[in-house]
Amino acid sequence: MILSETVEAKAKLDPENFSLANCIRALSIDAVEAANSGHPGAPMGMADAAAVLFRKHLKFDASQPDWPDRDRFVLSNGHASMLLYSLLHLTGYEAMTQEQLRNFRQWGSITAGHPEYGHTPGVETTTGPLGQGFAGAVGMAIAERRLASEFGDDLVDHHTYVFLGDGCLQEGIGQEAASLAGHLGLGKLIVLYDDNEITIDGPTSVSFSEDVLGRFTSCGWHVHRCDGHDPVAIDMAIQAAKAETDKPSIISLKTVIGFGSPNRAGSASSHGSPLGTEEAALAKTALGWSAEPFVIPPSLRQQWLDIGKRGSEARTQWESRLACRPEDVATEFNRRLKAELPQEYATALKLARHALFQQPKKIATRKASQLALEALAPALPELIGGSADLTGSNLTRVNAVDSQYTKERPGRYIGYGVREFGMAAAMNGLSVHGGFIPYGGTFLVFSDYARNAIRLSALMGIGTIYVMTHDSIGLGEDGPTHQPVEHLASLRAMPNLHTFRPADAVEALECWDIAIRSRTTPSLMALSRQDVPQLRTEVTDENLSARGAYIIRQCGQHRDLTLLATGTEVALAVEAAAALQAQGVGVTVVSMPCWDLFEQQPKAYRDEILGKAPRIAVEAAGKFGWTRYVASEEDVIGMNGFGASAPADILYQKFNITGEAIIARAKALLTN
């Protein structure tokens, strides 16, 4: 079959690039057909741009996927995963075999439906939920610039490239990411926009008619537009973007989704389903491709393998530069990239613990969190903080991280603005880049905005730290819009997330210690606005919070009743226990700062802590979930609905979260 006029014309622009791009198209078609599932359209449409980027610009070495100074490539439109898997296979990533491509989307393969970090070498971050790859790439660019300022651009000098589509830009997080990147002047962030004018519902005109490049211009970006099937134009656009050092760049590539498919190119029908046997054959013929499925002609295979090796010289030169650095600098750089804690950290932690025991604090746990940061941050140069425009409320800024991250100077504190989702996703990018432990603050109620990024950090197994203050009705007068009720239960339901609700200053420090050490599990701190007494006064170096729950008070010689509580309500439970003891009731009070850590303990320990006596749970939040520890929701002193606007002490009285309520329920249980 003679090539169509459009395809033939594009092929003549750069025949070599066209042939290399066809390798991507063919493998993508084959894998989607074999799986009978997937998205062939975007890989077919963006193959030309991918070939230009990997062939001429991307700094990487396929034999060393984790080389620290490699360029990062993020496929934000993760449904186009076969584009990335094809590139990894073609350039010689050892793990990405032909067998893996044949098992696309199948059990046990590393070729999941959407790219998964830690699952597949060469995948820089998990993508799929649209826009998060883009926002994560912003975090990677933030990390590159900060790390370069610390160690020099002879060790840290790389770009972050992003492929994204209309969906990433329609999601609100896309605007958050664009605005933040422009504000910070992240000149080494380069976005290639697959402007194919197609969404799942049909043409983008159904729902999307804005001037995208005008929007990015207003956010402080360098913008460019070109034919997405013209390799020469794409190359020139990337060169211009790399030359623009003060602004991030976006290149709008006018592409045809499903490029090469005679009957489905340019339509939504090529987006999310296989082309079908007949159309796949027609597409390959139109593209001039005659090889068997999953087979790459030897000459093209060698060209791609050579592309994968091209960065080896740059890598070895980089290794030589690192080796020539003073031993202490090289050691520190490697420590940071390996996520190992410095020796000074243990000393700082011990001093902070002893200071609390020497001088107990009656403070809000958000303030206790700040004290922990003040003590630990000087020993952790990798700690990089920020807040979503709530620094004075979250208390996330301390002396050691007091330098503001700006366009002119990449400090250790990032003003994320009112962008909770963008902040959380950018912190994930900082985490996966390496060299940093990012933390960022907002109110717990706004974890809803950030939730999908929190979920991705849990899914990826990375140690992002979320500082969430104003954790209950105890925040008071701001009212029910700002008072979290269902949030703790929702967050505790998420796999691989440490949800901490510390009871006092000692637990707050312990929870920070756990979070800092947890490099494969994210942590979320639920912290109070109101003051609480320090309940832990006995000197010990053991981190009791690391067990998730422990006995904090034993009132009486025997156990007639167990009170389970978290956060500010632990003090309330202790008061009620003392009152019950005066009435002859033996009460054990258990503080439960982290449920999932408690569930990880041996059964014998859990049985010992929970005991066999009747139990009551106390928490100024929704009751849902507590019945795993108590017999009935009637045994939970908590919230049945939303809060209200009033001073905190009034709210606790009105919603019956009081010592009197605990005592009344205890008597009802003990007399039955």
* Contact present, 77 and 309 (Cβ < 8 Å): no
d(CA 584, CA 666): 12
Tokens found for residue 69: 């100074």
Active-site pick, 33, 171, 382, 420: 420
Cβ neighbors of 210 (< 8 A, separation 6 or more) are none
Distances (CA, A) of 279 to 32, 33, 269: 13, 11, 12
Assign 2 to helix, strand or coil: coil
20 near 234, Cβ under 8 Å?
no
Both tokens of 157, joined, read 């000098």
Look up 408 and say whether it is catalytic.
no
Cβ atoms of 29 and 85 closer than 8 Å: no
User: How far, in Å, CA of 657 to CA of 652, rounded?
Assistant: 5
137 closest CA partner among 458, 430, 520: 430
> In angstroms, what CA-CA distances link 114 with 63, 295, 636?
23, 23, 41
- Closest to 461 in 3D by CA, of 552, 523, 508: 523
* Residues 388, 378 contacting (CB under 8 angstroms): no
Sheet holding 189-195, edge to edge: 72-75, 160-165, 189-195, 249-254, 222-227
According to DSSP, the residues that pair with 249 across neighbouring strands are: 190, 222
Per-residue HEC secondary structure of 320-369 comes to HHHHHCCHHHHHHHHHHHHCCCCHHHHHHHHHHHHHHHHCCCCEEHHHHH
Q: Which residues are known to be catalytic?
A: 420
